[in-house]
Structure 1
Amino acid sequence: MSLDKHQLRTFYKSLRAALTDGELEKKSLQITDHVKAFLSKREELKHFHLFFPIPRHREINTYLIKEYLESRGSTVYTSRVGEDTLSLETLLLKPDTTFLLDKWGIPVPEDFEPVSSDSIQVVFVPLLAFDQNGNRIGFGKGYYDVFLDSLDHSVLKIGLSFFSAELSIPSEVHDIPLDYCITPENIITF
């Protein structure tokens, strides 16, 4: 029996909630190590869009990835919800910026510059679940689908997940599949 998107969201939220703080940090470190290995073979990639963890959602600690990207001289971007609340505005991060939580509990940089997303080469994509074809399920608001659709098709879309791939998950025409997904165990290519 396959699960629908709502059931998958509920299931993976409960899996995340069950992770201890120690497990969450260990898995975040393992994912970061795989990100480093992946990028060690791709020195030409210099412009990265990164999401930051919403504490109540028990997301991957991507601050570790930010530190690594900055140490290799990369440019790091993030987003915040745009004025129309359906789009993401791209923000260029300044080194050593601090983050504040917005009204939704999303970390937003205190020091940033709004910029075009044209320079982005890689987007690290948040998700709850993904399948063996690169389809993903997020929190259901559609921000990343709209954002990814606005980017050049050559931009690499890399999911970050604490958990392994589902065999198959429901997808819709507007869903943008991943190119890769990095888990604590491995790097998956689609």
Structure 2
Amino acid sequence: MNKADLRKTYKKKRNELSLEEVFSLDAQLFEQLTQYDWSGINYLHCYLSIEKFKEYHTLPFIEWIWANHPEITIVVSKSDFVSNELRHFTFYRDTPLELNAYGIPEPVISEEIAPFKMDAVLTPLLVVDKNGNRVGYGKGFYDRFFASCKPEVKKLGISYFEPVEKVSDVNEWDVPMDVVFTPLDTYYLK
């Protein structure tokens, strides 16, 4: 299937999940995330969930990182919807957040961090194929972000759904995931 069809299908599937199903899937994803080897990571970029889109709720995982890996600095983004680019900021327990016009939680004030400092990026997605090609919301924010990261950055995706066989319309600027966490398994794709 192509990205547009996959995006439509998996947005619908995610929107149809009940709150109980989301809660259960989040708990399973949390287990997958906490079993991953986070050693050697200094800067971990993590998205903050858009509740209305039923994205995996990342705050419990971020709190787990703070408790179990205090050496890791969590970084979150602010979205620029004119350039479709992200700016990146440190995120601590006391960092104030506000929702932007699209319902995305963003830091009000914090230290800006350059993309090349990221060791790993935890990326939202709707679905991924078995080669790591992700289908997101179609604005290209994360592909632009990955282009400015160091080549060895770990590209980690989170999806409620298992990988599909193939995304048929991958472009030269699409950046595949290295690892994808799903409720049932963690897929190492490279």
Same fold (TM over 0.5): yes
Q: Report how far residue 97 of structure 1 moved.
A: 2.6
Q: TM-score, normalised by structure 1?
A: 0.92
1:70 aligns with 2:69: no
Once the two structures are overlaid, the 10-residue window that deviates more, 42-51 or 52-61, is: 42-51
1:51-66 correspondence runs (5 A): 51-66=47-62
Matched residue, 2:181: 182
> What is the correspondence of 1:1-190 to structure 2 with a 5 Å cutoff?
3-39=1-37, 42-71=38-67, 72-73=69-70, 74-82=72-80, 84-170=82-168, 171-190=170-189
Structure 1 unmatched runs, 5+: none
| Percent sequence identity over aligned pairs | 28
Q: Which amino acid aligns with 1:151?
A: C
- Counting matched residue pairs gives 186
Separation in structure 2 between the aligned mates of residue 174 and residue 85 of structure 1, nearest angstrom: 16
Which whole-Å CA distance do the structure 2 matches of 1:86 and 1:20 have between them? Answer: 31
Q: Tell me which moved more, 45-54 or 155-164.
A: 45-54
Q: Secondary structure at the match of 1:64?
A: helix
Q: Which runs of 5+ in 2 are unaligned?
A: none
Q: Deviation at 1:98?
A: 3.9
Secondary structure at the residue paired with 1:112? coil
**In 1, are the aligned partners of 2:32 and 2:185 still within 8 Å (CA)?**
yes
Report the residue type matching 2:28 in the other structure: Q
RMSD of the alignment, in Å?
1.4
CA contact (8 A) 2:115 2:145 kept: no
Structure-1 separation of matches of 2:50 and 2:164: 23
Which runs of 4 or more aligned residues in structure 1 lie more than 4 Å from their structure 2 counterparts after TM superposition? none
Q: Distance in 2 between matches of 1:76 and 1:98?
A: 14
User: Is the CA contact (8 Å cut-off) linking 2:117 and 2:149 kept in structure 1?
Assistant: no
Q: Distance in 2 between matches of 1:14 and 1:85?
A: 27
Q: Distance in 1 between matches of 2:100 and 2:81?
A: 14
Q: How many Å separate the matches in 2 of 1:156 and 1:67? A: 20
Q: Deviations over 1:112-153 (max 9, x none)?
A: 222222321110011111000000110000010000111001
Counterpart-to-counterpart distance in 2, 1:120 and 1:82: 19
